[in-house]
């Protein structure tokens, strides 16, 4: 089941319901036969929906991994449009999990009856410049016009960063990515500033794409992106958390969707536990012992997921950066699965 339902208020399911018994959410998911996943399909690489390709993106794959853990297949997901956090607080509906580029912050994490799952993408506000501009650092944008969309806190973040750095900010507010592209081409703006994830998606839609524009490596804010679930859904929360951890652990072990069957023959105890040949981890989560195998076989490890959605194998072509494994200088550090 791979459905997308544009219910504008549906994202809210997580807020009004009273905390359930620890296993109730998983039971409800199994009873209805699908995972209800709230996404916001406007940022390519994270969530997009088309008749030809269905739902695709990092956020979509997170829900597909949870489906694979619970059902053994990634396809038992119903996608529902989730527009903003206010809807999570105020509405009601059937959503089990929301995965939609939401930054983990104090005000979103407290007082709403919600909790953030694992960070699936370390994001941050950055800058995109035309290739050949000679600009390699935000410091070179002193007193130069920087385009920012009039949404969220992008303009405030730019102005704060520049002032704290002893530079003069010149934020130019725009409305669309197309307006940003035109401003960069005409010289009205020297750079476009937004979250790196947003910049990558915007660049992919611009003429020339990654061949025409560079995204600077510097980030001027912290935007850790993570899914949201209800407080009180303890078992479901653990499944969501360990579904992502399993993808990271598989990458550490060198296990991919292409070689996972060969990995079944490996003799390392932790690999055997991971793939369910030695039982215990599945029982601890209330899942089939092959839950992690099912995730990797059908969705892939984290590197595969990153590459096809936003990395070198995608039109977005983001550097992995902070989303590298800890062994490669990144922040992705999964607990041991044992």
Q: Given this model, what pLDDT does residue 19 score?
A: 45
Distance from C-alpha of 107 to C-alpha of 280, rounded to nearest angstrom: 37
Q: Given this model, what pLDDT does residue 93 score?
A: 60
- Shared domain for 64 and 91, answered yes or no, is yes
* Cα 190 off chain centre by: 28
Distance from C-alpha of 328 to C-alpha of 330, rounded to nearest angstrom: 6
- Shared domain for 242 and 291, answered yes or no, is yes
Asked whether residue 338 is domain-assigned, the answer is no
CA end-to-end span of the chain, whole Å?
32
Of 169, 196, 221, the residue at which a domain comes to its end is 221
- Shared domain for 151 and 294, answered yes or no, is no
Distance from C-alpha of 247 to C-alpha of 296, rounded to nearest angstrom: 7
For residue 92, pLDDT over 50 is answered with no
Of 221, 250, 279, the residue at which a domain comes to its end is 221
Tell me the pTM. Answer: 0.90
Average pLDDT over residues 46-62: 88
- Shared domain for 159 and 236, answered yes or no, is no
Range of the domain at 153: 125-221
- Shared domain for 212 and 232, answered yes or no, is no
* Residue from 307, 189, 192, 316 nearest 251 by CA: 307
Asked whether residue 333 is domain-assigned, the answer is no
Q: Given this model, what pLDDT does residue 85 score?
A: 53
- Shared domain for 187 and 45, answered yes or no, is no
For residue 230, pLDDT over 90 is answered with no
Of 160, 186, 221, the residue at which a domain comes to its end is 221
For residue 138, pLDDT over 50 is answered with yes
Number of domains making up the chain: 2
Q: pLDDT tens across 180-220, in order? A: 999 999 999 999 999 999 999 999 999 999 999 999 999 99
- Shared domain for 69 and 141, answered yes or no, is no
- Shared domain for 114 and 228, answered yes or no, is yes
Neighbour-count burial of 18, counting CB atoms closer than 10 A to its CB (0-12 exposed, 13-18 middle, 19+ buried)? exposed
- Shared domain for 27 and 166, answered yes or no, is no
Provide the 8-state DSSP code for 139.
G
CATH of the domain at 177: 3.40.190.10
Distance from C-alpha of 198 to C-alpha of 150, rounded to nearest angstrom: 14
């Amino acid at each position: 089941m791979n459905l997308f339902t544009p219910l504008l208020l549906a994202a809210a399911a997580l807020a009004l319901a009273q905390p359930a018994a620890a296993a109730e959410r998983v039971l409800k998911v199994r009873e209805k036969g699908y995972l209800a996943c709230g996404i916001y399909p406007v940022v390519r690489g994270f969530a997009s929906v088309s008749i030809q390709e269905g739902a695709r993106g990092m956020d979509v794959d997170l829900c597909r991994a949870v489906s694979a853990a619970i059902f053994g297949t990634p396809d038992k997901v119903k996608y529902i449009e989730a527009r903003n956090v206010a809807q999570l607080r105020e509405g009601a509906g059937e959503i089990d999990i929301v995965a939609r580029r939401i930054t983990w912050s104090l005000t979103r994490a407290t007082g709403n009856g919600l909790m953030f799952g694992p960070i699936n993408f370390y994001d941050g506000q950055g800058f995109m410049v035309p290739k050949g501009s000679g600009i390699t650092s935000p410091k070179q944008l002193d007193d130069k016009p920087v385009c920012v969309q009039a949404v969220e806190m992008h303009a405030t973040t730019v102005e704060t960063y520049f002032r704290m750095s002893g530079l003069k900010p010149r934020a130019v507010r725009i409305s669309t990515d197309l307006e940003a592209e035109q401003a960069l081409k005409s010289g009205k703006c020297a750079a476009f500033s937004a979250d790196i994830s947003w910049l990558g998606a915007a660049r992919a839609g611009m003429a020339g794409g990654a061949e025409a524009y560079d995204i600077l490596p510097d980030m001027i804010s912290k935007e850790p992106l993570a899914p949201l679930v209800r407080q009180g859904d303890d078992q479901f929360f653990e499944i969501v958390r360990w579904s992502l951890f399993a993808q990271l652990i598989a990458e550490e072990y060198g296990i991919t969707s292409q070689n996972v069957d060969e990995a079944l023959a490996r003799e390392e105890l932790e690999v055997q536990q991971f793939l369910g040949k030695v039982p215990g981890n599945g029982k601890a989560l209330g899942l089939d012992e092959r839950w992690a195998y099912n995730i990797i076989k059908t969705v892939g490890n984290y590197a595969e997921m990153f590459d096809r959605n936003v990395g070198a194998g995608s039109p977005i072509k983001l550097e992995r950066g902070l989303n590298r494994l800890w062994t490669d200088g990144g922040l992705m550090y999964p607990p041991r699965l044992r």
